[in-house]
Amino acid sequence: MRTDDKPFLTALGVIVVSVVLALAGAMVLQSQGCRKNSVPLKSPVQVREDDIRNLEKLLQEDIADARKAGRTDADVKEMREKYQAEIDRLKAEIETLKAGGQLDTP
């Protein structure tokens, strides 16, 4: 072997080692990325209870916004009735589910 080949072989060795390490790192990252964190599913009752809480919170925010916008009491009452109708529907679904019944899904 000539002495002129040593720098070339050293550079080639560094390149090969770098490629191997990059491929190994990519494989490790890919295997970790495929793992899915298991998220516990909520029961249908819990989902509806969360929806009710969110609707009640949203109603309060909408009432505050309506008051700022100068809406009348009749407008606010109409808004409350619409929200309450949806909340009542969800509560009826909860009662049906707790009684062991099935919901009609469209």
- Report the percentage of the chain scoring pLDDT > 90: 49
* Residue 6: pLDDT band with limits 50, 70, 90: confident
| For range 24-39, the mean pLDDT | 71
What pTM did the predictor assign? 0.59
Structure token pair of residue 4: 């002129």
70: left (phi over 0), alpha (psi -120 to 50) or beta: left
**pLDDT for 39:** 74
Measure the CA–CA gap between 87 and 93, rounded to whole angstroms: 10
**pLDDT for 32:** 67
The whole-chain average pLDDT of the chain stands at 84
CA angle 25, 28, 30 (to 5 degrees): 105
User: E strands within the chain?
Assistant: none
- Report the percentage of the chain scoring pLDDT > 70: 87
Q: Which residue has the higher pLDDT, 51 or 5?
A: 51
Q: What is the largest CA-CA distance in the chain?
A: 97
Measure the CA–CA gap between 63 and 81, rounded to whole angstroms: 12
Instruction: Evaluate if residue 92 carries a pLDDT over 60.
Output: yes
Measure the CA–CA gap between 13 and 7, rounded to whole angstroms: 10
Structure token pair of residue 8: 């070339």
